[in-house]
Amino acid sequence: MGSARYADPSMVTLAERLGHPADAKLLIVTCNDLGLTHASNVATYEALRHGVASSASLMVPCPWARAAAAGYRGEDVGVNLTLNAEFDTYRWGPMTRSPSLLDGDGGFPRTVEDAWDHADLDEVRRECRAQIERAIVWGFDVSHLTSHLETLPPRADFFDVYLELAIEFALPLRLGNEDDERIAGFPFRRLAAEEGLIFPDRIVRGRPGGRRHIERALFDLPSGVTELSVHPGIDTDELRAACGDEWSARVEDHVALCRDPAVRDLLDRANVVAISWRDLRELQRS
């Protein structure tokens, strides 16, 4: 029931179930990578409190996640289930010290394929559950689940863990679009909908890209629920050192979300209604 394609027999759309007209354009702007760096934390909370972002996702195993918890004021934050540490010199690893989730230098593997090849599913399940539980203990009102680098949804055995945890904690989850489903080779959107889970009709994602990324997402935005994935960071030596070539694009995302009046104007002219993952969570739990 998470999208028009998998609606119930009455064909009520997700927008209508949320109390909006069927043709409404509903948008969740999610700041990914809360907890990754201090620069990410500052940019994300500014985007949530003073910019156009409506949600964020926390990388619990990352070095600055505890500081993100200390700065939390009840914003809409989910857990970005993390099984990879993709940067060459900036490393983090599993909370559960699970050996199959480590690469040769003591952190999570850098690539999704490496995680798929070596991870024990019981250790994946234990680690992901521990990340959600830690976020709750830290005081986050966890609103949803996502998967860092999309490691969980495209592999059927990993997807089973993702689905199980969403059901266990009664949380909506991010899923790829129908093209991603075809590439994966199994109907993960239908399987999630059959379990009563809710997810946006579509996601617009990619590498950090600032206003151009946002403009492309909003240009001819279709009706329904769209999630726009962004990666804001403020310009600091820390961000430049940690994120390699990505640092400047993360700064562009921050500027677009918080400082660029043209983005707000574009949202207004497109008649976009901002919603959050918490709206989806409350619908799912009802």
Structure tokens at 196: 């009563």
Averaged confidence pLDDT in the chain: 93
pLDDT tens digits, 198-215: 999 999 986 666 778 788
Rounded to whole angstroms, the Cα distance separating 51 from 74 reads 16
Q: Is 127 exposed, middle or buried (0-12, 13-18, 19+ CB in 10 A)?
A: buried
Task: Identify the pLDDT of residue 4.
Answer: 44
Contact between 249 and 207 under an 8 Å Cβ cutoff? The reply is yes
**C-alpha span between 209 and 232 (Å, rounded):** 9
Buried/exposed code over 272-286 (b: 16+ C-beta within 10 A; e: otherwise)? beebbbbbbbeebee
| pLDDT in the model for residue 220 | 79
Give the pLDDT confidence score for residue 5 in this predicted structure.
45
Q: Which two tokens stand for residue 258?
A: 């918080």
Instruction: Dump pLDDT digits (tens) for 104-130.
Output: 888 999 999 999 999 999 999 999 999
Mean pLDDT of 72-100: 97
Q: Across residues 66-80, what is the average pLDDT? A: 98
Q: How far, in Å, are 18, 171, 207, 215, 281 from residue 277 at the CA level?
A: 11, 9, 21, 21, 6
- Tell me: pLDDT of 15 over 90: yes
**What's the one-letter identity of residue 34?**
L
Structural domains of the chain ordered from first start:
4-285 (3.20.20.370)
What is the average pLDDT across 234-254? 95
